[in-house]
Amino acid sequence: MTRLPSRHLAGQRVWIVGASSGIGAALARELHSRGARVAISGRRTAELEAVSAGDMAVLPLDATDGDALAAGAEAAAREMGGLDTVVWCAAYWQQTDPKAWNAASFARHVELNLLGFNSLLAAVLPGMVERGAGHIVGIASVAGFRGLPGGEAYGATKAAQIALLESLRASLWRSGVRVTTVAPGFVKTALTDVNEFPMPFIISAEKAARSIARGLERGQVEIVFPFRMAVAMKLARLLPVRWWARLVRA
């Protein structure tokens, strides 16, 4: 069935970083189907070309390289005549084993999930503030709401992203720049395919993309899904620290 372009997303110029697979790829297709003009970036050129199918600007880059992100921002703006929305979707995940601490793995989480996002903000935020318009969308995770066993590295960077986005939203509220935090639960992607633990309420990347697109159309500042996971993790924030540790330590 053909979907009519959204009156809110139609014509929007969107750059998605981390779009070669998973949520980023599905979101690129979903936003394009709703009438947005989309540029996509990631390390894997062939995968980006497949996502684009000739309908999107393809800008390969390493999201841990600040200079590459700055050049990518310029190229995306040049390709589309400006940028309205920039989505950070690049992510690294590896389960942590505290009994065999892997400092390199922890550093890799910080390098991509947090410092990469920092470089993206440096590339696009000053221009948005100067223009008095723009939209920053950060894909974080409900893993940043409370500490989870095995998520020491990933959860720490996602919690930092959530705090960063919340701070930006407060700081920029009169600037014309909007900030949206996206916190998915478990989504079936290449990152989660390696998991050997239960993943309650897991959804497809396509369903996740539809949830994000609907939230953007509605102007939500926080998009958390799926609903049952959102409720569970919001309630989890209210539990005392000692109770939470007892609940999840098994």
Quote the pLDDT of residue 196.
Answer: 66
Task: Report the alpha-carbon distance of residue 26 to residue 35 in Å, rounded.
Answer: 15
pLDDT in tens, 48-88: 999 999 999 999 999 999 999 999 999 999 999 999 999 99
Q: pTM surpassing 0.75?
A: yes
pLDDT in tens, 130-177: 999 999 999 999 989 988 888 899 999 999 999 999 999 999 999 999
Top CATH class, 13-248 = alpha beta
Q: Which helix (H) or strand (E) holds 248?
A: helix 241-248
Q: Where are the domains of the chain?
A: 13-248
The catalytically annotated residue of 88, 154, 186, 225 is 154
Task: Report the alpha-carbon distance of residue 69 to residue 27 in Å, rounded.
Answer: 20
User: Quick check: is 92 catalytic?
Assistant: no
